Structure 1
């Protein structure tokens, strides 16, 4: 968890207005999380921070590639992702608690750690069905697995003669 400290943004000394921060998100970032969907990544994160008197507005832009396993051929392939998200952090004396949209920062807080937000945004960007693309025609696709699946697939030959029981029901129309 010590390596996640590099993803902290100190906001106490910042002047009011817009500031930009850049982070490289690599494999070592995801190694800090035990059950991450993503294990390998090469991402660039640009955070535009707007400091106001009562809040911070963080605009995240994450671009790059992550390594996923294809659900069909099981080969590892690079998946391009582009994420644009916004997070609001509000300064408050009383502890309101965190919800999904607003982070509360107390009077003793002097920095905001964005590692959890980066992790969440990247994992949500992972496609539900991971596919390496055009079946068997990409350099990443495992053609032997695809050939084996095609051999084992059941091709049903439909009998074109209708069931005579349906003829009696058609008379009711």
Structure 2
């Protein structure tokens, strides 16, 4: 319980002290909601596991008189954050500020490979949509289950 509260205070301190970029507020809300819900759940588990049931119920009523307050973060918030960190955005740039993202040839770096793919994201997305529409219409073989196999089948057909 205390570790979740400590982590939440660190998130708030970082938010207050750091420079803010677009989309970072969603990450703040997600993190705080997640950590506060976990701290509240820890309280409930402590009270439920006390040997004296009456003491557990009394402590629960004193600590949380109106009941549980925090829910898990909404999926829309998680989807927004996932979109921002998986595409080229200011939030992704800030999160990757001090990471090793060079691919020097000798050592393969997955982060550098992914960052290189982001450059062609817009073009690739349009191609995948076109290929998936052709697949849905039955213009491509049904054995092409993988997206790359569909692209290759589309190239052969063109």
Range into which the TM-score falls when normalised by the shorter chain: under 0.3
Name whichever structure is richer in helix by fraction: 2
Which has the greater radius of gyration? 1
Normalised TM-score (structure 2): 0.25
Name whichever structure is richer in strand by fraction: 1
Normalised TM-score (structure 1): 0.24
